[in-house]
Structure 1
Protein backbone atom coordinates (compact mmCIF):
# COMPACT_ATOMS: atom_id res chain seq x y z
CA UNK A 1 0.00 0.00 0.00
CA UNK A 2 1.24 3.46 -0.83
CA UNK A 3 0.31 6.57 1.11
CA UNK A 4 0.15 9.82 -0.82
CA UNK A 5 -0.53 13.36 0.31
CA UNK A 6 -0.62 16.50 -1.75
CA UNK A 7 2.49 18.59 -1.65
CA UNK A 8 1.69 22.18 -0.65
CA UNK A 9 4.93 23.32 -2.20
CA UNK A 10 4.75 22.10 -5.76
CA UNK A 11 1.21 20.82 -6.07
CA UNK A 12 2.37 17.19 -6.74
CA UNK A 13 1.67 13.96 -4.82
CA UNK A 14 4.57 12.62 -2.79
CA UNK A 15 5.12 9.01 -1.60
CA UNK A 16 5.71 9.55 2.13
CA UNK A 17 5.73 5.79 2.86
CA UNK A 18 8.77 5.31 0.64
CA UNK A 19 10.45 8.26 2.31
CA UNK A 20 9.76 6.70 5.72
CA UNK A 21 11.23 3.33 4.67
CA UNK A 22 14.29 5.14 3.36
CA UNK A 23 14.62 6.96 6.67
CA UNK A 24 14.38 3.65 8.61
CA UNK A 25 17.16 2.16 6.47
CA UNK A 26 19.34 5.13 7.33
CA UNK A 27 18.50 4.59 11.00
CA UNK A 28 19.69 0.97 10.83
CA UNK A 29 22.90 2.04 9.13
CA UNK A 30 23.45 4.43 12.05
CA UNK A 31 22.93 1.53 14.54
CA UNK A 32 19.62 2.93 15.85
CA UNK A 33 17.97 -0.20 17.29
CA UNK A 34 14.35 -0.86 16.32
CA UNK A 35 11.88 -0.80 19.17
CA UNK A 36 8.74 0.81 20.52
CA UNK A 37 10.21 4.29 20.33
CA UNK A 38 11.10 3.91 16.70
CA UNK A 39 7.71 2.39 15.88
CA UNK A 40 5.86 5.23 17.62
CA UNK A 41 7.95 7.75 15.78
CA UNK A 42 7.12 6.05 12.49
CA UNK A 43 3.41 6.04 13.23
CA UNK A 44 3.58 9.70 14.18
CA UNK A 45 5.30 10.39 10.90
CA UNK A 46 2.47 8.67 8.97
CA UNK A 47 -0.20 10.51 10.97
CA UNK A 48 1.41 13.83 10.22
CA UNK A 49 1.74 12.98 6.56
CA UNK A 50 -1.93 12.06 6.25
CA UNK A 51 -3.25 15.02 8.14
CA UNK A 52 -5.19 17.70 6.24
CA UNK A 53 -2.81 20.44 5.13
CA UNK A 54 -4.80 23.21 6.85
CA UNK A 55 -5.18 21.44 10.20
CA UNK A 56 -3.96 23.55 13.12
CA UNK A 57 -2.92 22.24 16.50
CA UNK A 58 -3.93 25.27 18.57
CA UNK A 59 -7.45 26.09 19.73
CA UNK A 60 -9.17 29.00 18.05
CA UNK A 61 -8.87 32.18 20.05
CA UNK A 62 -12.05 33.62 21.52
CA UNK A 63 -10.72 37.11 20.90
CA UNK A 64 -12.13 38.64 17.76
CA UNK A 65 -9.21 39.78 15.59
CA UNK A 66 -8.97 43.48 14.97
CA UNK A 67 -8.72 44.62 11.34
CA UNK A 68 -5.30 45.97 10.39
CA UNK A 69 -6.91 49.20 9.19
CA UNK A 70 -8.25 50.10 12.62
CA UNK A 71 -5.09 50.75 14.62
CA UNK A 72 -2.45 53.07 13.26
CA UNK A 73 1.20 51.96 13.08
CA UNK A 74 1.84 54.19 16.09
CA UNK A 75 -0.93 52.46 18.05
CA UNK A 76 -3.25 55.46 18.01
CA UNK A 77 -7.02 55.52 17.48
CA UNK A 78 -8.49 54.93 14.03
CA UNK A 79 -9.14 57.74 11.61
CA UNK A 80 -12.85 58.59 11.43
CA UNK A 81 -15.04 60.66 9.13
CA UNK A 82 -17.26 62.03 11.90
CA UNK A 83 -16.75 65.68 12.82
CA UNK A 84 -17.13 65.19 16.57
CA UNK A 85 -16.13 62.07 18.49
CA UNK A 86 -15.38 60.88 21.99
CA UNK A 87 -14.66 57.41 23.42
CA UNK A 88 -14.86 56.75 27.15
CA UNK A 89 -14.40 53.88 29.57
CA UNK A 90 -17.88 53.40 31.04
CA UNK A 91 -16.64 52.15 34.41
CA UNK A 92 -14.43 55.08 35.39
CA UNK A 93 -15.26 57.82 32.89
CA UNK A 94 -11.76 58.03 31.44
CA UNK A 95 -11.63 59.62 28.00
CA UNK A 96 -9.78 57.31 25.62
CA UNK A 97 -9.87 59.63 22.61
CA UNK A 98 -11.62 62.84 21.60
CA UNK A 99 -12.10 64.92 18.46
CA UNK A 100 -13.90 68.27 18.67
CA UNK A 101 -15.70 66.83 21.68
CA UNK A 102 -16.74 70.23 23.07
CA UNK A 103 -18.10 71.66 19.84
CA UNK A 104 -21.80 72.52 20.17
CA UNK A 105 -24.06 70.92 17.58
CA UNK A 106 -27.39 69.26 16.92
CA UNK A 107 -27.37 65.70 18.23
CA UNK A 108 -30.68 64.42 16.82
CA UNK A 109 -32.27 61.41 18.51
CA UNK A 110 -29.25 60.64 20.67
CA UNK A 111 -30.84 63.09 23.12
CA UNK A 112 -33.66 60.58 23.57
CA UNK A 113 -31.33 59.03 26.13
CA UNK A 114 -32.18 62.03 28.32
CA UNK A 115 -35.88 61.52 27.62
CA UNK A 116 -35.50 57.88 28.63
CA UNK A 117 -33.62 58.83 31.78
CA UNK A 118 -36.33 61.24 32.94
CA UNK A 119 -39.03 58.67 32.20
CA UNK A 120 -37.20 56.01 34.21
CA UNK A 121 -36.88 58.44 37.13
CA UNK A 122 -40.48 59.72 37.03
CA UNK A 123 -42.20 56.80 38.72
CA UNK A 124 -43.60 53.42 37.82
CA UNK A 125 -43.19 52.28 34.23
CA UNK A 126 -46.55 50.54 34.62
CA UNK A 127 -48.37 53.88 34.83
CA UNK A 128 -50.80 54.36 31.91
CA UNK A 129 -50.39 56.99 29.20
CA UNK A 130 -53.39 58.06 27.13
CA UNK A 131 -52.43 59.29 23.66
CA UNK A 132 -53.55 62.86 22.85
CA UNK A 133 -54.06 64.20 19.35
CA UNK A 134 -51.11 66.58 19.80
CA UNK A 135 -48.82 63.59 20.37
CA UNK A 136 -49.52 62.27 16.89
CA UNK A 137 -48.59 65.44 14.97
CA UNK A 138 -44.82 65.03 15.30
CA UNK A 139 -42.72 64.10 12.27
CA UNK A 140 -41.52 60.50 11.76
CA UNK A 141 -39.96 58.22 12.80
CA UNK A 142 -43.05 57.23 14.76
CA UNK A 143 -45.44 54.42 15.66
CA UNK A 144 -48.50 56.24 14.29
CA UNK A 145 -50.22 55.99 17.64
CA UNK A 146 -53.94 56.76 17.65
CA UNK A 147 -55.68 59.34 19.81
CA UNK A 148 -57.34 57.80 22.85
CA UNK A 149 -55.27 54.63 22.85
CA UNK A 150 -53.66 53.69 26.15
CA UNK A 151 -50.20 52.24 26.81
CA UNK A 152 -47.89 51.94 29.78
CA UNK A 153 -44.88 54.17 30.15
CA UNK A 154 -42.72 51.08 29.85
CA UNK A 155 -44.23 50.15 26.48
CA UNK A 156 -43.59 53.60 25.06
CA UNK A 157 -40.10 53.81 26.56
CA UNK A 158 -39.15 50.53 24.89
CA UNK A 159 -40.38 51.85 21.54
CA UNK A 160 -38.26 54.98 21.97
CA UNK A 161 -35.07 53.06 22.68
CA UNK A 162 -35.51 50.38 20.02
CA UNK A 163 -37.20 52.23 17.15
CA UNK A 164 -36.69 55.91 18.11
CA UNK A 165 -40.43 56.63 17.99
CA UNK A 166 -41.02 60.40 18.10
CA UNK A 167 -44.74 60.21 18.90
CA UNK A 168 -43.98 57.97 21.89
CA UNK A 169 -41.42 60.54 23.06
CA UNK A 170 -43.95 63.38 22.89
CA UNK A 171 -46.63 61.35 24.66
CA UNK A 172 -44.29 60.50 27.53
CA UNK A 173 -43.01 64.08 27.82
CA UNK A 174 -46.53 65.48 28.02
CA UNK A 175 -47.66 62.78 30.46
CA UNK A 176 -44.76 63.34 32.85
CA UNK A 177 -44.35 67.12 32.78
CA UNK A 178 -47.74 68.32 31.54
CA UNK A 179 -46.32 69.76 28.32
CA UNK A 180 -43.38 69.35 25.98
CA UNK A 181 -41.78 72.73 26.91
CA UNK A 182 -41.86 71.89 30.62
CA UNK A 183 -40.38 68.47 29.95
CA UNK A 184 -37.61 70.07 27.88
CA UNK A 185 -36.79 72.36 30.82
CA UNK A 186 -36.48 69.28 33.00
CA UNK A 187 -34.15 67.74 30.43
CA UNK A 188 -31.82 70.74 30.57
CA UNK A 189 -31.89 70.87 34.36
CA UNK A 190 -31.08 67.16 34.58
CA UNK A 191 -28.26 67.72 32.12
CA UNK A 192 -26.72 70.30 34.44
CA UNK A 193 -26.91 67.87 37.35
CA UNK A 194 -24.90 65.38 35.27
CA UNK A 195 -22.22 67.96 34.52
CA UNK A 196 -23.47 68.58 30.98
CA UNK A 197 -22.61 72.29 30.85
CA UNK A 198 -22.92 72.66 27.07
CA UNK A 199 -26.40 71.27 26.47
CA UNK A 200 -29.79 72.90 25.99
CA UNK A 201 -32.77 70.71 25.13
CA UNK A 202 -36.01 72.07 23.67
CA UNK A 203 -37.86 68.85 22.78
CA UNK A 204 -37.87 65.17 23.79
CA UNK A 205 -37.15 63.67 20.37
CA UNK A 206 -34.19 65.56 18.90
CA UNK A 207 -35.77 66.98 15.75
CA UNK A 208 -33.98 70.18 14.76
CA UNK A 209 -35.00 73.26 16.70
CA UNK A 210 -33.15 76.56 16.85
CA UNK A 211 -31.33 77.02 20.14
CA UNK A 212 -31.11 73.29 20.91
CA UNK A 213 -27.64 71.77 21.10
CA UNK A 214 -25.24 69.52 22.93
CA UNK A 215 -21.70 68.18 22.52
CA UNK A 216 -20.07 64.79 22.12
CA UNK A 217 -18.61 65.08 25.62
CA UNK A 218 -21.98 65.93 27.17
CA UNK A 219 -23.72 63.09 25.36
CA UNK A 220 -21.02 60.72 26.63
CA UNK A 221 -21.77 61.83 30.19
CA UNK A 222 -25.46 61.22 29.59
CA UNK A 223 -24.85 57.84 27.97
CA UNK A 224 -22.60 56.68 30.78
CA UNK A 225 -25.24 57.48 33.39
CA UNK A 226 -28.14 56.09 31.34
CA UNK A 227 -26.26 52.85 30.76
CA UNK A 228 -26.34 52.16 34.50
CA UNK A 229 -30.14 52.10 34.54
CA UNK A 230 -31.53 48.57 33.95
CA UNK A 231 -34.80 49.96 32.56
CA UNK A 232 -32.79 51.69 29.83
CA UNK A 233 -29.94 49.26 29.27
CA UNK A 234 -32.29 46.29 28.73
CA UNK A 235 -34.26 47.66 25.74
CA UNK A 236 -31.07 48.96 24.13
CA UNK A 237 -29.94 45.39 23.42
CA UNK A 238 -33.19 44.27 21.74
CA UNK A 239 -32.74 43.69 18.01
CA UNK A 240 -36.45 43.58 17.21
CA UNK A 241 -39.83 42.90 18.76
CA UNK A 242 -43.56 43.14 18.09
CA UNK A 243 -45.34 46.26 19.35
CA UNK A 244 -49.01 45.51 19.95
CA UNK A 245 -51.36 48.45 19.32
CA UNK A 246 -54.63 48.81 21.24
CA UNK A 247 -56.63 47.81 18.17
CA UNK A 248 -54.68 44.57 17.76
CA UNK A 249 -52.41 45.80 15.01
CA UNK A 250 -48.86 44.47 15.29
CA UNK A 251 -45.86 46.60 14.30
CA UNK A 252 -42.52 44.85 13.90
CA UNK A 253 -39.99 47.22 15.44
CA UNK A 254 -36.38 46.70 14.39
CA UNK A 255 -33.59 48.35 16.31
CA UNK A 256 -32.06 51.26 14.43
CA UNK A 257 -28.59 50.31 15.75
CA UNK A 258 -27.00 48.06 13.11
CA UNK A 259 -23.99 47.30 15.30
CA UNK A 260 -26.15 44.89 17.30
CA UNK A 261 -25.98 42.62 14.25
CA UNK A 262 -22.48 43.31 12.97
CA UNK A 263 -20.47 43.41 16.21
CA UNK A 264 -20.86 40.46 18.60
CA UNK A 265 -20.09 42.41 21.77
CA UNK A 266 -22.12 45.55 20.95
CA UNK A 267 -24.57 46.36 23.74
CA UNK A 268 -26.67 49.05 22.10
CA UNK A 269 -27.29 52.75 22.88
CA UNK A 270 -28.85 55.25 20.42
CA UNK A 271 -28.89 56.36 16.80
CA UNK A 272 -29.82 59.78 15.46
CA UNK A 273 -30.04 61.62 12.18
CA UNK A 274 -31.31 64.95 10.90
CA UNK A 275 -30.11 67.23 8.14
CA UNK A 276 -28.54 69.53 10.73
CA UNK A 277 -26.85 66.82 12.80
CA UNK A 278 -25.70 64.41 10.14
CA UNK A 279 -25.50 60.75 11.06
CA UNK A 280 -25.03 60.22 14.79
CA UNK A 281 -24.55 57.16 16.94
CA UNK A 282 -23.91 56.50 20.60
CA UNK A 283 -22.55 52.95 20.71
CA UNK A 284 -21.50 50.77 23.61
CA UNK A 285 -19.67 47.47 23.75
CA UNK A 286 -18.49 45.07 26.43
CA UNK A 287 -15.57 42.65 26.03
CA UNK A 288 -13.64 40.76 28.70
CA UNK A 289 -15.40 42.67 31.46
CA UNK A 290 -14.69 46.13 30.04
CA UNK A 291 -17.37 48.45 28.67
CA UNK A 292 -16.65 51.46 26.49
CA UNK A 293 -18.97 54.04 24.96
CA UNK A 294 -18.27 55.78 21.65
CA UNK A 295 -20.13 58.94 20.66
CA UNK A 296 -20.00 59.74 16.94
CA UNK A 297 -21.66 62.97 15.77
CA UNK A 298 -21.74 64.52 12.32
CA UNK A 299 -20.76 61.45 10.33
CA UNK A 300 -22.16 60.27 6.99
CA UNK A 301 -24.48 57.44 6.02
CA UNK A 302 -21.58 55.53 4.55
CA UNK A 303 -19.25 56.07 7.50
CA UNK A 304 -21.21 56.22 10.76
CA UNK A 305 -21.23 52.45 11.24
CA UNK A 306 -17.61 52.02 10.21
CA UNK A 307 -16.55 54.93 12.44
CA UNK A 308 -18.34 53.52 15.47
CA UNK A 309 -17.28 49.92 14.99
CA UNK A 310 -13.65 50.89 14.44
CA UNK A 311 -13.63 52.93 17.65
CA UNK A 312 -15.15 50.13 19.72
CA UNK A 313 -12.78 47.54 18.28
CA UNK A 314 -9.79 49.77 18.90
CA UNK A 315 -10.77 50.48 22.51
CA UNK A 316 -11.78 46.93 23.43
CA UNK A 317 -9.67 44.60 21.30
CA UNK A 318 -6.36 46.42 21.55
CA UNK A 319 -6.41 47.99 25.02
CA UNK A 320 -2.61 48.01 25.06
CA UNK A 321 -2.67 50.75 22.42
CA UNK A 322 -5.15 52.93 24.31
CA UNK A 323 -3.80 55.82 26.34
CA UNK A 324 -6.49 57.49 28.48
CA UNK A 325 -6.70 61.25 28.03
CA UNK A 326 -8.55 62.54 31.08
CA UNK A 327 -11.35 61.56 33.42
CA UNK A 328 -14.85 62.44 32.27
CA UNK A 329 -16.30 64.49 35.10
CA UNK A 330 -20.00 64.29 35.80
CA UNK A 331 -22.29 65.48 38.52
CA UNK A 332 -22.93 61.94 39.70
Structure 2
Protein backbone atom coordinates (compact mmCIF):
# COMPACT_ATOMS: atom_id res chain seq x y z
CA UNK A 1 0.00 0.00 0.00
CA UNK A 2 1.30 3.41 -0.90
CA UNK A 3 1.90 6.10 1.73
CA UNK A 4 -1.29 8.06 0.99
CA UNK A 5 -3.47 4.96 1.14
CA UNK A 6 -1.79 3.90 4.33
CA UNK A 7 -2.29 7.36 5.80
CA UNK A 8 -6.01 7.00 5.24
CA UNK A 9 -6.02 3.58 6.85
CA UNK A 10 -4.08 4.70 9.88
CA UNK A 11 -5.80 7.96 10.61
CA UNK A 12 -9.37 7.45 9.44
CA UNK A 13 -10.14 3.89 10.51
CA UNK A 14 -10.05 2.28 13.91
CA UNK A 15 -9.15 -1.37 14.47
CA UNK A 16 -11.27 -3.67 16.60
CA UNK A 17 -10.21 -3.82 20.25
CA UNK A 18 -6.88 -5.66 20.41
CA UNK A 19 -7.86 -7.29 23.70
CA UNK A 20 -10.27 -9.52 21.74
CA UNK A 21 -7.51 -11.12 19.68
CA UNK A 22 -4.68 -13.44 20.62
CA UNK A 23 -2.09 -13.68 19.24
CA UNK A 24 -1.75 -10.01 18.19
CA UNK A 25 -3.73 -9.25 15.04
CA UNK A 26 -1.90 -8.20 11.89
CA UNK A 27 -3.99 -5.06 11.59
CA UNK A 28 -1.63 -3.09 9.30
CA UNK A 29 0.32 -5.54 7.13
CA UNK A 30 1.72 -2.89 4.78
CA UNK A 31 3.60 -0.76 7.30
CA UNK A 32 6.70 -2.97 7.25
CA UNK A 33 7.96 -6.38 6.31
CA UNK A 34 7.53 -7.20 10.01
CA UNK A 35 6.23 -5.10 12.89
CA UNK A 36 5.24 -5.32 16.56
CA UNK A 37 3.23 -2.87 18.68
CA UNK A 38 2.80 -3.02 22.46
CA UNK A 39 0.50 -0.94 24.63
CA UNK A 40 1.50 -0.70 28.28
CA UNK A 41 3.74 -3.73 27.92
CA UNK A 42 1.17 -6.00 26.24
CA UNK A 43 1.10 -6.98 22.54
CA UNK A 44 -1.45 -5.04 20.51
CA UNK A 45 -0.76 -5.70 16.80
CA UNK A 46 1.93 -7.64 14.98
CA UNK A 47 2.89 -8.79 11.51
CA UNK A 48 5.31 -11.69 10.99
CA UNK A 49 6.49 -11.36 14.61
CA UNK A 50 8.95 -14.28 14.47
CA UNK A 51 10.34 -13.86 10.96
CA UNK A 52 14.14 -13.63 10.95
CA UNK A 53 15.23 -10.44 9.19
CA UNK A 54 18.28 -8.18 9.06
CA UNK A 55 18.06 -5.60 11.87
CA UNK A 56 20.68 -2.99 10.84
CA UNK A 57 21.71 -0.71 13.70
CA UNK A 58 18.99 -1.98 16.00
CA UNK A 59 21.78 -4.43 16.88
CA UNK A 60 23.48 -1.57 18.69
CA UNK A 61 20.82 -1.84 21.36
CA UNK A 62 22.39 -5.13 22.47
CA UNK A 63 25.85 -3.54 22.42
CA UNK A 64 24.47 -0.70 24.55
CA UNK A 65 22.80 -3.15 26.94
CA UNK A 66 26.02 -5.08 27.57
CA UNK A 67 27.96 -1.87 28.17
CA UNK A 68 25.30 -0.38 30.46
CA UNK A 69 25.01 -3.60 32.46
CA UNK A 70 28.68 -4.49 32.82
CA UNK A 71 31.00 -1.55 32.17
CA UNK A 72 32.19 1.48 34.11
CA UNK A 73 30.75 4.35 32.10
CA UNK A 74 33.27 6.75 33.59
CA UNK A 75 36.19 4.65 32.30
CA UNK A 76 38.47 5.91 29.55
CA UNK A 77 38.29 3.90 26.35
CA UNK A 78 41.19 3.89 23.92
CA UNK A 79 39.88 4.07 20.36
CA UNK A 80 40.88 0.93 18.48
CA UNK A 81 42.18 0.75 14.93
CA UNK A 82 39.08 -1.23 14.01
CA UNK A 83 36.90 1.60 15.27
CA UNK A 84 38.75 4.17 13.17
CA UNK A 85 38.28 1.96 10.11
CA UNK A 86 34.52 1.57 10.58
CA UNK A 87 32.28 2.58 7.69
CA UNK A 88 28.77 3.99 7.43
CA UNK A 89 27.49 6.36 10.09
CA UNK A 90 30.49 7.49 12.10
CA UNK A 91 31.98 10.36 14.09
CA UNK A 92 35.52 10.24 12.75
CA UNK A 93 37.15 8.91 15.92
CA UNK A 94 40.93 8.49 15.72
CA UNK A 95 42.85 5.42 16.75
CA UNK A 96 44.81 5.94 19.98
CA UNK A 97 42.64 8.81 21.19
CA UNK A 98 40.48 8.22 24.26
CA UNK A 99 36.88 8.90 25.26
CA UNK A 100 34.62 8.17 28.22
CA UNK A 101 32.70 4.94 27.85
CA UNK A 102 29.51 6.84 28.70
CA UNK A 103 30.11 9.35 25.90
CA UNK A 104 30.70 6.56 23.39
CA UNK A 105 27.54 4.82 24.59
CA UNK A 106 25.51 7.98 24.08
CA UNK A 107 27.02 8.53 20.62
CA UNK A 108 26.15 4.92 19.74
CA UNK A 109 22.50 5.55 20.58
CA UNK A 110 22.07 9.18 19.48
CA UNK A 111 24.13 9.25 16.27
CA UNK A 112 24.16 5.47 15.67
CA UNK A 113 27.91 5.95 15.23
CA UNK A 114 29.60 2.76 14.09
CA UNK A 115 33.04 3.87 15.23
CA UNK A 116 31.78 4.64 18.75
CA UNK A 117 29.98 1.29 18.85
CA UNK A 118 33.05 -0.61 17.61
CA UNK A 119 35.32 1.16 20.09
CA UNK A 120 33.08 -0.06 22.93
CA UNK A 121 32.94 -3.60 21.53
CA UNK A 122 36.72 -3.86 21.14
CA UNK A 123 37.25 -2.36 24.60
CA UNK A 124 34.75 -4.52 26.46
CA UNK A 125 35.31 -7.76 24.55
CA UNK A 126 39.00 -7.45 23.73
CA UNK A 127 38.05 -7.66 20.06
CA UNK A 128 34.83 -7.73 18.08
CA UNK A 129 34.46 -11.56 17.74
CA UNK A 130 34.62 -12.02 21.50
CA UNK A 131 32.18 -9.20 22.08
CA UNK A 132 29.77 -10.68 19.52
CA UNK A 133 29.94 -13.96 21.46
CA UNK A 134 28.90 -11.98 24.54
CA UNK A 135 26.00 -10.49 22.56
CA UNK A 136 24.77 -13.94 21.54
CA UNK A 137 25.10 -15.25 25.09
CA UNK A 138 23.02 -12.34 26.40
CA UNK A 139 20.46 -12.91 23.65
CA UNK A 140 20.13 -16.54 24.72
CA UNK A 141 19.69 -15.49 28.35
CA UNK A 142 16.91 -13.09 27.32
CA UNK A 143 15.19 -15.89 25.40
CA UNK A 144 15.64 -14.29 21.97
CA UNK A 145 15.03 -17.42 19.91
CA UNK A 146 15.13 -15.78 16.50
CA UNK A 147 18.16 -13.56 17.01
CA UNK A 148 21.81 -14.03 16.13
CA UNK A 149 24.56 -11.43 16.01
CA UNK A 150 27.61 -11.41 13.75
CA UNK A 151 28.56 -7.73 14.09
CA UNK A 152 28.36 -5.39 17.07
CA UNK A 153 27.10 -2.42 15.06
CA UNK A 154 24.57 -3.94 12.67
CA UNK A 155 26.32 -4.30 9.31
CA UNK A 156 24.60 -6.75 6.99
CA UNK A 157 25.79 -10.34 7.34
CA UNK A 158 24.11 -13.70 6.57
CA UNK A 159 24.13 -14.66 10.26
CA UNK A 160 22.99 -11.26 11.57
CA UNK A 161 19.23 -11.31 12.10
CA UNK A 162 16.42 -10.85 14.58
CA UNK A 163 12.63 -10.76 14.78
CA UNK A 164 10.35 -7.95 15.88
CA UNK A 165 9.15 -9.98 18.86
CA UNK A 166 12.75 -10.53 19.98
CA UNK A 167 13.63 -6.88 19.45
CA UNK A 168 10.71 -5.85 21.65
CA UNK A 169 12.11 -8.11 24.40
CA UNK A 170 15.55 -6.59 23.89
CA UNK A 171 14.05 -3.10 24.07
CA UNK A 172 12.36 -3.95 27.37
CA UNK A 173 15.66 -5.11 28.82
CA UNK A 174 17.41 -1.98 27.56
CA UNK A 175 14.72 0.24 29.05
CA UNK A 176 15.71 -0.98 32.52
CA UNK A 177 19.07 0.75 32.10
CA UNK A 178 18.96 4.45 33.01
CA UNK A 179 22.00 5.25 30.87
CA UNK A 180 20.26 3.93 27.77
CA UNK A 181 16.92 5.62 28.50
CA UNK A 182 18.58 8.98 29.17
CA UNK A 183 20.76 8.82 26.03
CA UNK A 184 18.06 7.67 23.61
CA UNK A 185 15.81 10.65 24.34
CA UNK A 186 18.47 13.34 23.72
CA UNK A 187 17.81 15.56 20.66
CA UNK A 188 21.53 16.27 20.38
CA UNK A 189 24.80 15.51 22.12
CA UNK A 190 28.41 16.64 22.16
CA UNK A 191 31.56 15.52 23.92
CA UNK A 192 35.32 15.97 23.86
CA UNK A 193 37.86 13.20 23.44
CA UNK A 194 40.96 12.85 25.57
CA UNK A 195 42.92 14.72 22.88
CA UNK A 196 40.44 17.61 23.04
CA UNK A 197 38.57 16.92 19.80
CA UNK A 198 34.93 17.93 19.99
CA UNK A 199 32.22 15.77 18.48
CA UNK A 200 28.69 17.12 17.94
CA UNK A 201 25.70 15.14 16.73
CA UNK A 202 21.93 15.18 16.36
CA UNK A 203 19.67 12.25 17.11
CA UNK A 204 18.95 10.05 14.10
CA UNK A 205 15.45 9.44 15.53
CA UNK A 206 13.24 12.01 13.81
CA UNK A 207 10.50 11.50 16.40
CA UNK A 208 12.59 12.98 19.24
CA UNK A 209 11.53 16.57 19.82
CA UNK A 210 8.88 16.35 17.08
CA UNK A 211 6.39 13.78 18.28
CA UNK A 212 4.69 14.34 21.64
CA UNK A 213 5.90 11.84 24.21
CA UNK A 214 8.68 10.29 22.10
CA UNK A 215 11.62 9.07 24.16
CA UNK A 216 13.57 6.67 21.98
CA UNK A 217 14.68 4.15 21.24
CA UNK A 218 16.82 3.21 18.18
CA UNK A 219 17.00 3.69 14.42
CA UNK A 220 18.68 1.58 11.78
CA UNK A 221 19.35 1.36 8.06
CA UNK A 222 21.41 -0.85 5.78
CA UNK A 223 20.77 -1.88 2.16
CA UNK A 224 19.85 -5.38 3.32
CA UNK A 225 17.66 -4.38 6.25
CA UNK A 226 16.03 -1.30 4.81
CA UNK A 227 14.71 1.32 7.22
CA UNK A 228 14.21 0.01 10.74
CA UNK A 229 12.97 1.56 13.96
CA UNK A 230 12.24 0.86 17.60
CA UNK A 231 9.93 3.71 18.67
CA UNK A 232 9.01 4.37 22.29
CA UNK A 233 6.53 7.01 23.46
CA UNK A 234 4.43 7.71 26.52
CA UNK A 235 1.41 9.92 26.97
CA UNK A 236 -1.17 10.38 29.75
CA UNK A 237 0.12 7.44 31.72
CA UNK A 238 0.28 5.04 28.76
CA UNK A 239 3.35 3.68 26.99
CA UNK A 240 3.60 2.44 23.41
CA UNK A 241 6.49 0.46 21.95
CA UNK A 242 6.64 -0.13 18.20
CA UNK A 243 9.23 -2.18 16.30
CA UNK A 244 9.43 -1.99 12.50
CA UNK A 245 11.79 -3.91 10.22
CA UNK A 246 12.16 -2.95 6.56
CA UNK A 247 9.64 -0.12 6.79
CA UNK A 248 9.76 2.11 3.67
CA UNK A 249 7.84 4.95 5.38
CA UNK A 250 9.03 4.36 8.92
CA UNK A 251 8.47 7.90 10.27
CA UNK A 252 4.98 8.43 8.89
CA UNK A 253 3.86 4.89 9.65
CA UNK A 254 5.36 4.77 13.13
CA UNK A 255 3.49 7.97 14.02
CA UNK A 256 0.29 6.41 12.70
CA UNK A 257 0.80 3.27 14.77
CA UNK A 258 1.64 5.25 17.90
CA UNK A 259 -1.44 7.44 17.49
CA UNK A 260 -3.69 4.44 16.96
CA UNK A 261 -2.25 2.72 20.02
CA UNK A 262 -2.86 5.79 22.18
CA UNK A 263 -6.41 5.96 20.78
CA UNK A 264 -6.86 2.33 21.81
CA UNK A 265 -5.70 3.22 25.32
CA UNK A 266 -8.39 5.92 25.50
CA UNK A 267 -11.07 3.52 24.30
CA UNK A 268 -10.10 0.98 26.92
CA UNK A 269 -10.18 3.57 29.67
CA UNK A 270 -13.79 4.44 28.77
CA UNK A 271 -15.02 0.86 29.09
Same fold by TM-score greater than 0.5: yes
Question: Hey, what's the Cα distance between the residues in 2 that align with 1:275 and 1:131?
Answer: 27
Q: CA deviation at 1:74?
A: 4.5
- 1:114-158 deviations in Å (ceiling 9; x for gaps): 000000111311111111222211112111111111111111001
* 1:77-156 → structure 2 map (5 Å cutoff): 77=27, 80-89=30-39, 91=40, 93-156=41-104
**Is contact 1:78-1:310 (8 Å) kept?**
no
Q: CA deviation at 1:68?
A: 8.2
Cα root mean square deviation, aligned: 1.8
Q: CA deviation at 1:69?
A: 4.2
Matched, 1:208 2:208: no
**Is contact 2:174-2:180 (8 Å) kept?**
yes
Number of aligned residue pairs: give it. 252
Q: TM-score, normalised by structure 1?
A: 0.72
- 1:244-276 deviations in Å (ceiling 9; x for gaps): 234433332000000113211111100000010
User: Structure 2: where are the runs of 5+ without partners?
Assistant: 1-7, 18-26
Larger CA Rg, structure 1 vs 2? 1
Q: Residue 316 of structure 1 aligns with which residue? A: 262
Question: Hey, what's the Cα distance between the residues in 2 that align with 1:196 and 1:276?
Answer: 21
Q: Residue 266 of structure 1 aligns with which residue? A: 214
Q: Residue 275 of structure 1 aligns with which residue? A: 223
**Is contact 2:10-2:260 (8 Å) kept?**
no
Question: Hey, what's the Cα distance between the residues in 2 that align with 1:75 and 1:85?
Answer: 18
Secondary structure, aligned partner of 2:145: coil
Secondary structure, aligned partner of 2:131: helix
User: Structure 1: where are the runs of 5+ without partners?
Assistant: 1-66, 323-332
**Is contact 2:221-2:228 (8 Å) kept?**
yes
Q: Residue 305 of structure 1 aligns with which residue? A: 251
Secondary structure, aligned partner of 1:96: strand
Q: 1:79 to 1:134 in 2, by over 3 A?
A: closer
Q: CA deviation at 1:79?
A: 6.0
**Is contact 2:10-2:257 (8 Å) kept?**
no
- 1:184-232 deviations in Å (ceiling 9; x for gaps): 1111111111111110001110011121111111001000111121010
Secondary structure, aligned partner of 2:115: helix
Q: TM-score, normalised by structure 2?
A: 0.87
From 237, 259, 264, the equivalent of 1:289 is 237
